[in-house]
Amino acid sequence: MHVLGIESSCDETAVAIISEAEGLLVNKLYSQIELHSPYGGVVPELASRDHIRKLGPLLQETLQEANLKLDKDIDAIAYTSGPGLMGALMVGAGFARSLAWSINKPAIAIHHMEAHLLAPLIESISPEFPYVALLVSGGHTLLVKIDAIGRYRILGESIDDAVGEAFDKTAQMLGLPYPGGPQIQQLAMQGNAKRFNFPRPMTDRPGLDFSFSGLKTHVLNTLKDLSENSLTKLDQQTRADVACAFEDAVVDTLRIKSLRALEQSNANTLVVAGGVGANKKLRQQLKEKLAKRGMQVFYPAAEFCTDNAAMVAQLGLLRLQDSSCCEEQNALQINVRPRWSLEAI
């Protein structure tokens, strides 16, 4: 049995094929980073148009590499139905459902965040239930308790900016290109961690929600004070010190809340997913601090941590095995859900 997965919720166009017997066969991705880079963030209309351009060629490459035929070998088509950008989702959903209709096979609507939560399964790793997932990307900051597949409880989320967005906006203030996370990480390595001490938002009160917009404003005010209102005058060392203070504040905040979530959930495994999960300081701190408490942290491989179609195909396969979950294959209506809570699955 083979499931084709299609992901187009934001700025990555991705297609993958997973086999029930052999696991992941092909995982293709085309990133739109260069397209959006001049704007400092994702431009939704440009994203939709680029998905239209890339989905067809990526599908052909994927089938060729897997040495499979769409009409003979593919048993279902799984696609991201939400949450995400409306136009981008519509392109992927329209493409996926039309393909499925043309080969008379089921189309399976996938929740993007659920696919992230279950990404460890792609590598045949099944963390023991219950576990906690920290989803940290450009669009999301979530702590979720996973009691079983399909049983998710949101423990905490950002009440304003997503953490990746805070990285990107802080990078922009420091004159760094998009996406800002890797740039801040690089610059922070030269920084003096003792020079500034930025707030760790909402860690001094109970609860598991996050807020990053105040921290962002704190960075802006610090930069303004330092440069007497002209950010261009800042020397390289000062910029590095600010990047370092910002990164430390974010990493501490994520670590404190993740530990709190594990303790409250009686869980001892944390799964980290999303682009910010690539941050080296975050990885090292979580590993060290959790190990001290007899807990463990699991990071899916980088290619499965950020947006990808393997996780969509993987979840599609699970749904197909539990055949009650497929959509009516002949339905012609294309529905996407730009806003879709995990708890509503």
Q: Which residues bind ligand KG4 (CB under 6 A)?
A: 10, 137-139, 164, 167-168, 179-182, 185, 274-276, 278-279, 306-307
Cα distances (Å, whole numbers) of residue 178 to 42, 104, 166, 220, 328: 10, 42, 12, 17, 41
Q: Which is nearer to Zn ion, 137 or 285 (CB)?
A: 137
Q: Which residue reads 């203070």 in tokens?
A: 245
State in angstroms the smallest separation of the CB of 207 from Zn ion: 24
Kindly provide the b/e burial profile for residues 125-148, where b requires at least 16 CB atoms within 10 angstroms of the residue's own CB: eebeebbbbbbbbbbbbbbbbbee
State in angstroms the smallest separation of the CB of 292 from ligand KG4: 23
Which of Zn ion, ligand KG4, none interacts with 181 (beta carbon under 5 to 8 A by kind)? ligand KG4
State in angstroms the smallest separation of the CB of 272 from Zn ion: 13
Query: Hey, which residues between 289 and 308 contact Zn ion (CB under 5 A)?
Result: 307
State in angstroms the smallest separation of the CB of 2 from ligand KG4: 26
The residue number whose beta carbon is nearest to Zn ion equals 307
Q: How many residues bind Zn ion (CB under 5 A)?
A: 2
State in angstroms the smallest separation of the CB of 60 from ligand KG4: 25
Q: Which is nearer to ligand KG4, 105 or 239 (CB)?
A: 239
Q: Which is nearer to ligand KG4, 30 or 101 (CB)?
A: 30
State in angstroms the smallest separation of the CB of 165 from ligand KG4: 6
Which of Zn ion, ligand KG4, none interacts with 32 (beta carbon under 5 to 8 A by kind)? none
Cα distances (Å, whole numbers) of residue 339 to 45, 94, 140: 18, 18, 12
- Beta-bridge partner residues of 171: none
- Beta-bridge partner residues of 297: 270
Query: Hey, which residues between 131 and 190 contact Zn ion (CB under 5 A)?
Result: 137
Which of Zn ion, ligand KG4, none interacts with 182 (beta carbon under 5 to 8 A by kind)? ligand KG4
Return the percent helix, strand and coil in the chain, to nearest 5. Answer: 50, 20, 30
Q: Which is nearer to ligand KG4, 106 or 201 (CB)?
A: 201
Tokens for 283? 């990885």
Q: Is 114 in the site for Zn ion (CB under 5 A)?
A: no
Question: How far is the C-alpha of 29 from the C-alpha of 22, rounded, in Å?
Answer: 20
- Beta-bridge partner residues of 272: 134
164 — phi, psi (to 5°)? -65, -35
Query: How many angstroms separate the most distant Cα atoms in the chain?
Result: 67
Residues at the interface with Zn ion (CB under 5 A): 137, 307
